[in-house]
Chain A
Amino acid sequence: MTEFFNTTLGLPYGWSWFLATIAGILLIALPLMLTVAMIIYADRKIWAAMALRRGPNVVGPFGLLQSFADGLKVFLQETIIPSAANRGLFLLAPIITFTVALIVWAVVPFDAGVVLADINVGLLYVLAASSLGVYGIIIAGWASNSKYPFYSALRAAAQMVSYEVAIGFILISVVLYAGSFNLSQIVMAQKGHIFGVINGFGLNPLFLPMAVMFFISSLAETQRAPFDLTEAESELVAGYQTEYSSMSFALYWLGEYANVILMCVLNATLFWGGWLPPIDWAPLYAVPGIIWLFLKMCLFFFFFSWVKATVPRYRYDQLMRLGWKVFLPVSLFWVFLVSGILMFDRVGVEGAGGRGITTAHAQAPARAGVEL
């Protein structure tokens, strides 16, 4: 897009880069907000169908405009700030949640080369940004100056830190196998991964457990059912959002669903081939990659809703046990397993032969010895 502004419109390079970046951000953020609105509708319809209800069906045809009506409603409501609250932080918290939910999308590849920032440390950036999400909740809980939001904030902090550890190890095993932190390269490494036919690490027996664990961890990371203890209404009213109203509440709502969609896309990107079609067969490539990614995202979102509609909420100690005593050891073991298999497969038992990284590893000591 920079070239379009630079050559077609004749703007200087600096300006065209700037305009292209702004346009790219808008091209991601606006459809994302639309998707969030529609996915909230889809979510409610799916729960309704599983509970043999009709779900939203009044506003617009089939109730399609329900989310927009809700949005308009909260927009017109009064913003209430509790008198005992810490004013600045109280208003800052939903902004943090919403911003953090959006910034991760900068590194998500939608198609070959269609990515806002194609950086080398893409996956680390995703980890870093998702680890920031907890601040919106913890600050909200503290600034509300109220019991239940505070409990909720403490629960959220413990929960997100615990599951981030497991997610980190799962990502490391994927990175080891793909050989890159760059999300586009991780997707390309999955092309024809299984017998040169199926795209995606997910069906590889080595990665299937990782894919399942990543899905469960992403449920915990986004605080969706069955891990929604931070807003368990039977215990904590509405959790950290108890004191929020109007647009500050809506920002939480939007940020939460933007995070859910992001986790669906990450599931698809890391284990199920991202923008690639499910099967490595030339006619399927005629369909644009973004559509494949969107379909995979919808499938994972259906799983998210399905889980929410059917699985009862965990107890808090069970949640912590699952994170620390099951996922952490298993994912840590998997890092060793994957690196061991790679060592055997790509480097070779004696450290020579094989393909790919072998040469770099063999040369590294000699070079380091000479130069330093």
Chain B
Amino acid sequence: MIQAIAFYLFATVTIASAALTISSRNPVHSVLWLILAFFNAAGLMVLAGAEFIAMLLIIVYVGAVAVLFLFVVMMLDIDVAEMRAGFVRYLPLGLALAVALLAEIVIGIGAYGAGGIELAARTAPAAQPVPNIQALGNLLYTRYLFIFEVAGLVLLVAMIGAIVLTYRKRGGVRPQSIPRQNARRPEDATRNVNQPIGVGVEL
């Protein structure tokens, strides 16, 4: 009973906020609706028994990615009228994407006829119920170890690539050397003099 109510609540809010994400005029509002959609999707995952994935969704997407996203969108000065002007130009691409997504929905409905998802049973390879994290760990670090490590390597390469692409040596900057700052003592910069009255200080 409570599960059904929770499911319909999360599902409705997810869809509604996803629709508002693409329809709201203010880009900052869009991002905030997107965050609400993430949040409710995490709720749906908890209901499906994948609590680990749900927490990761919130930590990674809501806690980090969306914050940076919001950060960028707030700093951008977006002219809505100018964006509208590009509408016709991008229409074919948008239509192609829409067709692809529709096809996925059709396939998804076809898969629904094959029976329930039973996510808990799939993530947990063992017969007895083990905690989600343990089940995922057992799979990732044994059977899928190679793929898992390759995925990590791809991410590392992507990270290094991003740094290489954006890093450039700028001239004329004076970077701070923290060890030098820490090593500097008062004696290096100041000096105590017992100055007689009426005589200038020698610099």
Contact = CB atoms under 8 A, between A and B. Distances in A.
Interface in B34-88: 35, 51-52, 55-56, 58-59, 62-64, 67-68, 70-71, 74-75
A150 B132 CA distance: 40
User: What's the dominant secondary structure at chain A's contact region?
Assistant: helix
Given A119-B51, A142-B28, A364-B138, A124 B56 contact: yes
A147 interface: no
B141 to A, nearest CB: 8
A347 B62 CA distance: 36
A154 B71 contact: yes
A371 B63 contact: no
Interface in A202-217: none
Contacts of B75: 154
A89 B141 CA distance: 44
A369 interface: yes
Contacts of B52: 121, 124
B133 interface: yes
Interface in A232-254: none
Contacts of B1: 14
Given A128-B58, A138-B67, A317 B176 contact: yes
Interface residues of B, number: 33
Most buried by A among B55, B74, B125, B131: B55
Nearest to B126: A367
Contact of A124 (B59, B74, B134, B178): B59
Given A121-B55, A132-B63, A157-B71, A365 B142 contact: yes
B71 A128 contact: no
Contact of A131 (B63, B139, B176, B178): B63
A369 B51 contact: no
A112 interface: no
B125 A371 contact: yes
A132 B63 CA distance: 6
A interface, size bucket: 35 or more
A164 interface: yes
Interface in A161-178: 161, 164, 168
Given A128-B55, A161-B68, A371-B125, A139 B142 contact: no
A128 B63 contact: yes
Contacts of B138: 360, 364, 368
A181 B139 CA distance: 18
A132 B133 CA distance: 22
A161 B35 contact: no
B32 A131 contact: no
Interface of A: 14, 89, 119-121, 124-125, 127-128, 131-132, 134-135, 138-139, 142, 150, 153-154, 157-158, 160-161, 164, 168, 181, 317, 321, 360, 364-365, 367-369, 371-372
10 contacts: A131-B59, A131-B62, A131-B63, A138-B71, A153-B74, A157-B68, A360-B134, A360-B138, A364-B142, A367-B126
Interface pairs A-B: 10 shortest CB-CB: A131-B63, A124-B55, A128-B58, A368-B143, A120-B131, A365-B142, A364-B138, A364-B142, A128-B59, A121-B55
Given A132-B63, A157-B67, A157-B68, 13 more contacts: A89-B32, A120-B51, A121-B55, A121-B133, A127-B55, A134-B63, A157-B70, A157-B71, A160-B67, A321-B178, A364-B141, A368-B143, A369-B143
